Amino acid sequence: MKFKSPAQHVFTVLNITFLVLTCLICILPFWHLLAISFSSGWAVKANKVTFFPIDFTLFAYGFAFKGGRFLSALWISVKRVLLGGTINMILIVLTAYPLSRSKAKFSFRNIYMIYFVITMIVNGGLIPTYLLVTRLGLLNSLWALVLPGALPVFSMIILMNFIRGLPEELEEAALIDGATPFTVLFRVILPLLAPSLATVGLFSIVGHWNDWFGGLIYMQNNMRYPLQTYLQTLLRTFEQIIRLAQGDYAQIIRIMDVRTGRAAQLFLGALPIMLIYPFLQKYFTTGLVLGSVKG
């Protein structure tokens, strides 16, 4: 039976208070953003909005869907995540399996491993890659966003280690039965990979979803910007977005302050991740812990 001394009680109370305050510090900025997005222009201009909307209005959200290019940018991001994520996963699985075999079973394993690991240590950098992608004629295409990072080596290593942790007897039994490596991979190993695939897949999806820089340098036409790149343009040039939208600029500006319009679109941009995250949290955390607390 554990008895808590008075000092420990005090500590517990202080501790919980402190932790709650920390949680608030993490939430409040978004709360503030949300409040601004629902407030009318005049209140925001006067800096009166703190954590609750003043003169509630959905105008900024309406503008996001009609006037801005939010929806088309969203769609481009969805396409990117689907294409990029699929390519990542296929390559990761196809690469992790052979590399998980020991040198006895796969003589060239170490050579391939070094080939891939070198790219983690040395790389050409931004400009040579940019020039190459341009040379290949990939500018303005989704492929420019999806091919350069097609095999995330670190994720592949995580999956490779996971495969190595699977019982050897499974593979041996299958090989004795005359299975080929491809059969072993698809029939025996793949079904067992679910937890690790989930983690690695999630990182791939989040990575593609959040990348804004690729869109900025490779898409020359801002109609082709993925979501985060589009949002990035909002940060400094929101007035321009309003001008380019249909409708009367002066009238829009009267009802909706730049900050409100921006806040609404930023919040919409953050929403997908905030919604998915609580459900998939365990994949984010277990995978990480597996990957880091090793050895």
Partner 1 sequence: MKSFSQKWNMQWQYHVMLIPAVALVFIFSYIPMYGLIIAFEKYNPAMGFHSPWVGFDNFKYLFSQPNFVQTIWNTFYIAFFKIIGGIIVPVFFSLLLNEVSNRSIKRIFQTIVYIPNFLSWVIIAGVFMDILSNTGILNQFLGFFGIAPISFLGEPKLFPWTMIVTDIWKTFGFGTVVYLASLTSIDPGLYEAAIVDGAGRWKQTVYITIPLLMPIITLMLILSLGNVLNAGFDQIYNLYSPIVYKTGDIIDTYVYRLGIQKAQYAFGTAVGMFKSVISGVLILLSYYLADRCVGYRVF
Residues of this chain, 105-144, that bind partner 1 according to CB under 8 A: 105-108, 112-113, 115-117, 119-132, 135
Smallest distance from partner 1 to CB 17, Å: 11
- Lookup: tokens for 260: 């409100």
Give the binding range for partner 1 (CB under 8 A) out of 21-29, 53-61, 63-71, 193-201: 21-29
Does position 33 interact with partner 1 (CB under 8 A)? The reply is yes
- Per CB under 8 A, the list member of 60, 81, 145, 185 interacting with partner 1 is 185
- Per CB under 8 A, the list member of 228, 241, 261, 283 interacting with partner 1 is 228
Closest CA to 268 of 81, 78, 72, 71: 71
Smallest distance from partner 1 to CB 248, Å: 26
227: amino acid identity, one letter: L
Does position 223 interact with partner 1 (CB under 8 A)? The reply is no
- Per CB under 8 A, the list member of 10, 12, 55, 140 interacting with partner 1 is 12
- The torsion angles phi and psi of 180, rounded to 5 degrees, stand at -90, 165
- Per CB under 8 A, the list member of 10, 94, 173, 194 interacting with partner 1 is 94
- Measured from the Cβ of residue 73, the count of other Cβ atoms closer than 10 Å reads 24
| DSSP calls for 110-125 | HHHHHHHHHHHH----
Does position 182 interact with partner 1 (CB under 8 A)? The reply is yes
Does position 186 interact with partner 1 (CB under 8 A)? The reply is no
- Per CB under 8 A, the list member of 10, 13, 58, 90 interacting with partner 1 is 90
- Lookup: tokens for 19: 């932790």
178/248 with CB nearer partner 1: 178
Are the beta carbons of 104 and 171 closer than 8 angstroms?
A: no
Does position 235 interact with partner 1 (CB under 8 A)? The reply is yes
Are the beta carbons of 254 and 57 closer than 8 angstroms?
A: no
Count of chain residues binding partner 1 (CB under 8 A)? 93
Q: Could you give the 3-state DSSP secondary structure of residue 219? A: coil
Give the binding range for partner 1 (CB under 8 A) out of 23-31, 56-64, 190-198, 247-255: 23-31
User: Rule CB under 8 A: which of 49-88 touch partner 1?
Assistant: 50
87/252 with CB nearer partner 1: 87
- Per CB under 8 A, the list member of 1, 180, 220, 221 interacting with partner 1 is 180
Are the beta carbons of 226 and 70 closer than 8 angstroms?
A: no
Q: Cα–Cα–Cα angle for 285, 289, 293, nearest 5°?
A: 170
32/79 with CB nearer partner 1: 32
Cβ contacts of 67 within 8 Å, gap of 6 or more: 241, 242, 245, 246, 247, 252
Torsion of CA 281, 282, 285, 288, to 10 degrees: -120
- Measured from the Cβ of residue 197, the count of other Cβ atoms closer than 10 Å reads 19
Smallest distance from partner 1 to CB 18, Å: 7
